[in-house]
Amino acid sequence: MKRVGIPRGLYYYKYSALWETFFKSLGADVILSENTNKKVLTNGSNACVSEACIPVKAYFGHVLELVGKVDFIFMPRFTSVAKKQYICPEVCGVSDMVRNSVRGLPKIIDPEINLRESVKNSWRAALYTGEFITGDRRRISKAYKEAVTQYRNKRQALKFADTEFGKSLGINGSAARKADDSAAKLTIAIIGHSYTVYDTFLNMELIKKLNKFGADVLTLDMLDYIVSKDRCRELDKQFFWDYGTRAYGGAIQLIQKGRVDGILALTSFGCGVDSFVDELVEDKIRCESDIPFMKLVLDEHSAEAGFLTRLEAFIDMIVRRRQNDIYISTSGKHVYNC
């Protein structure tokens, strides 16, 4: 049996169901790198250029973790994951970064995933990938269909966060639905890339921490993408980053629903996409709503105590505001009212 290694980083957090199901139904042995931990991150940072962002460094660590244990490493070259959209250039080029800076890599399966022009490219990528494992086209086609169904189901389920996956992340219950009625519990929305929001080591178990404070968590995956895309039409020029559309449209949805108690923007240091997107999102939230907003920046030097203190202060502020029902200013609110 052929052993296929999948690094548990970057877009794994979005496409895990798709990839795992695909390889398993082709009859390959799927080996995942372990969850991100200190060793993975340290090894990754040592192998990677220091300017890269922390998720990319962690990805390097995950690849190193797999070296010697597998026959193939699955490292797709992403260019685009949605029509007319791109993704971050660094993630686009990460497989080339790894290929050119890590020695002794096993064979790499690197299909090009470019859905910018046509969604059919996804099947082409699957065919290319499948041919590494088997020569039987019909089998690949079957595995592909199965994988896509699995992936869709998981994504759909994630919207309501009732899945095992959701639970394993600590997203308990259905925050998205609760956001529609005024539940007594707090609901905090997290705006961030899937690979920072769901990687519990990188974000220092942010979701669990929020749960401990008694808050439900809502992520961008629980909001409808089509609606987000529609809301983005108010911009003069549409974002060409998939994440930008999700985050900006998501923020507008949150404002319109008006049922979240706070919004956290989670970003990694040096993230170029976020430097533009988050600024527009912050502007939108501060100008058009009174929802408290805080930006958290992650890098490999982030200390947990400082992180926790900021989080506690944020939650305390929200709780007091709610209990006393008096106006407590969010940062900067007194100074300007748009």
Partner 1 sequence: MIFTFPHLGNTYIIAKSFLDDFGAEYVVPPFNSDRTLEIGLKYCAEAHCIPFKLFVGNMVQAHEMGADTMLITGGCGPCRLGYFGEMLKKQARDIGINMELITLEVPDQGLKELASRIRKVSGTSNVLNIARVINAAKNIAVKLDNLEQLAREKRAVQSVKGSVDKIYGGFQKDILNIKGSANMERFIKETEDRLKQINVNTDAKPLRVGIVGEIFTTIEPYANFRVEKMLGEMGVLVDRPVTVSGWIIDEMIKKRLPLLKDKKHEEAAAEYLPRMIGGHAQYTVGNSVLNAISGYDGVIHLYPLGCMPEIVSQAILPKIEEDYGIPIMTVIRDEMTGEAGFATRVEAFIDLLKKRRDEHLNEQSKMLYGN
What does the alpha-carbon distance between residue 114 and residue 118 come to, in Å, rounded to a whole number? 8
DSSP-assigned states of every residue in 23-40: HHHTT-EEEEPPPP-HHH
Vertex 113: Cα angle to 107 and 117 (nearest 5):
155
State the minimum distance, in angstroms, from the CB of residue 226 to partner 1: 18
Choose among 55, 111, 109, 113: nearest CA to 82: 113
Nearer of residues 66 and 113 to partner 1, judged by Cβ: 113
Residue with smaller CB distance to partner 1, 79 or 150: 79
DSSP assignment of 289-316 equals: ----EEEEEE-TT--HHHHHHHHHHHHH
Q: Which residues bind partner 1 (CB under 8 A)?
A: 48-49, 51-52, 77, 79, 84, 86-90, 92-94, 96-97, 100-101, 112, 235-241, 270-276, 279-280, 283
Q: How far is CA 329 from CA 167, 185, 265, 319, in A?
A: 34, 21, 19, 13
Nearer to partner 1, 180 or 279 (CB): 279
Q: Residue 226: which H helix or E strand, with range?
A: helix 225-231
Q: Using an 8 Å Cβ cutoff, are 217 and 171 in contact?
A: yes
Give exposure, 145-166, as e/b (b: 16+ Cβ within 10 Å). ebbbebbeebbeebbebbbebb
Q: Shortest Cβ distance from residue 132 to partner 1 (Å)?
A: 18
What's the closest the beta carbon of residue 51 comes to partner 1, in angstroms? 5
Whose tokens are 């203190």? That residue is 309
Q: Which amino acid does the sequence have at 143?
A: A
Nearer to partner 1, 138 or 301 (CB): 301
Q: How far apart are CA 110 and CA 92, in angstroms?
A: 12
Q: Which is nearer to partner 1, 14 or 321 (CB)?
A: 14
Work out the angle at residue 163's Cα, subtended by the Cα atoms of residues 246 and 258, and round it to the nearest 5 degrees.
45
Q: Which is nearer to partner 1, 37 or 275 (CB)?
A: 275
23 versus 293: smaller Cβ distance to partner 1 = 293
Q: Specify the residue, 138 or 237, whose C-beta has the smaller distance to partner 1.
A: 237
Q: Which two tokens stand for residue 48?
A: 């990677």
Number of helical (H) and strand (E) elements in the chain, helices listed first: 15, 10
Instruction: Supply the minimum distance, in Å, between the C-beta of residue 297 and partner 1.
Output: 9
Q: What token pair was written down for 239?
A: 């974002």
We find the least distance from the C-beta atom of residue 52 to partner 1, in angstroms, to be 5
Closer to partner 1 at the Cβ: 235 or 328? 235
Least separation in angstroms between CB 228 and partner 1: 17
Smallest distance from partner 1 to CB 277, Å = 9
Task: Write down the least CB distance from residue 129 to partner 1, Å.
Answer: 17
Cβ 242 to partner 1 shortest distance, Å: 10
